[in-house]
Amino acid sequence: METTWRWVLLTAIAPIAWGSTYYVSREFLPADAPLWGAVLCALPAALLLPVVRPIRPRGAWWWRASILGALNVGVFFALVYLVAQLLPTSVASTVMATSPVAMMLLARLLAGERLRAIPMIGAAIGLAGVVLLLAGDAGAVDPLGVVASVIAMLLSSLGYVLAKRWRDGTDVLAVTWWQLLAGGAMLVPAALLVEGAPRALDGAGVAAFAYVSIVATAIAFVAWFGGLAHLPAGTVGLIGLLNPVTGVLLGVLLAGEVLGGWQVAGLALVLAGILLGQVRLVPTRVRRAATGTEVPNTPRARMLTSAAGAAAAAPRPDDRGTHGPTLVAPREVHA
């Protein structure tokens, strides 16, 4: 259980970092260059991670990295950067908050994960909390921004589930920088064609891009894909609801915004939804069978384990009693 919660906390780094990018993008980054913005987020991170893990793609990972790079980085980054300029944070965050449901459904179709009621209920509660948390901050809604936000949510959910399905023990750091490099590189021609040469940046812009690239991209993506490798997709998706929570809290801390009663209630609902989705990660008391296999302490499991233990302790027909009963390892019992 301790190991599982360690992965939950590590995964939470990603949405917290991503939630901060709404504020950083609006305050410090140019609004009219979304493609170059995506390139400058992805490529510096892609060039940094190989220093830590200099592993080149092999076999199927050449084409897998290209697909994941497009879904999780290239197209996604450009859309998110565009959404940050077209939509209020409330609307963008609400659309992205539907990602846990999309991930659960896609994980069922593509990765064989079972749909479970409690995480789905947690996702519904969390989404309701996001709506309350960001209520009253909608402002003007640009239809193009809404469409871009929905597409970004669906593509990223598909990319995350594919990354989970394709996990084969390959180093997470390596898989992350392959995606960032592939996604960033495919954006360069489009950026040159559509936006021309990259714009000059002042000191604040350089610092903002450094933060977004290193913290909100390199570190965040490693944490996110590490979580996908060790946790159910629905659990990871629910942790992603910390994204809008972070955005609102940064508004309170940095922009002097004040939380109203509905927003406090929304914040509580979001956190309740996230925690509810983790219930399945908290096992009932367990005990070890003779083989060391952990068996849930449910009535049926206790009955089956006791029967297996009794069978194991019973003397075998060929035992002659000279060395005591021969212990036979019980078969694994699935409750």
Are 79 and 174 found together in one domain? yes
Residue 160's φ and ψ, nearest 5 degrees, are -65, -40
Count of domains forming the chain: 2
pLDDT at 218 over 90: yes
Mean pLDDT, range 113-125, rounded to an integer: 89
Are 70 and 218 found together in one domain? yes
Q: Tokens representing 55? A: 């592993």
pLDDT at 137 over 70: no
Q: Are 177 and 50 in contact (CB under 8 A)?
A: yes
User: CB neighbours (10 Å) of residue 23?
Assistant: 19
Are 164 and 306 found together in one domain? no
Are 202 and 320 found together in one domain? no
Q: What is the pLDDT of residues 168-180, one digit of tens each?
A: 889 999 999 999 9
- Close Cβ partners of 88 (under 8 Å, ≥ 6 residues apart): 137, 138, 139, 140, 141
Distance, in Å, from the CA atom of 118 to the CA atom of 316, rounded to the nearest integer, reads 45
Are 236 and 301 found together in one domain? no
Residue 195 placed within a domain: yes
Q: Tokens representing 223? A: 């944490």
Return the H-helix or E-strand segment holding 286: strand 286-288
Residue 309 placed within a domain: yes
Instruction: Report the predicted TM-score, pTM, of the whole model to 2 decimal places.
Output: 0.76
How would DSSP label each residue in 296-333? E--HHHHHHHHHHHHHHHSPPTT--SSSSPPP-PPPP-
The better pLDDT of the pair 3, 235 is held by 235
Q: What is the mean pLDDT of the chain?
A: 80
Range in 171-185, 240-254, 316-330 with the lowest mean pLDDT: 316-330
Q: In 3-state terms, the chain is what percent helix, strand and coil (to 5)?
A: 70, 0, 25
Are 74 and 170 found together in one domain? yes
Percentage of the chain modeled with pLDDT above 90: 35
Are 214 and 81 found together in one domain? yes
Length of the chain measured in residues: 335
Residue range(s) defining the domain that contains residue 75: 2-117+138-241
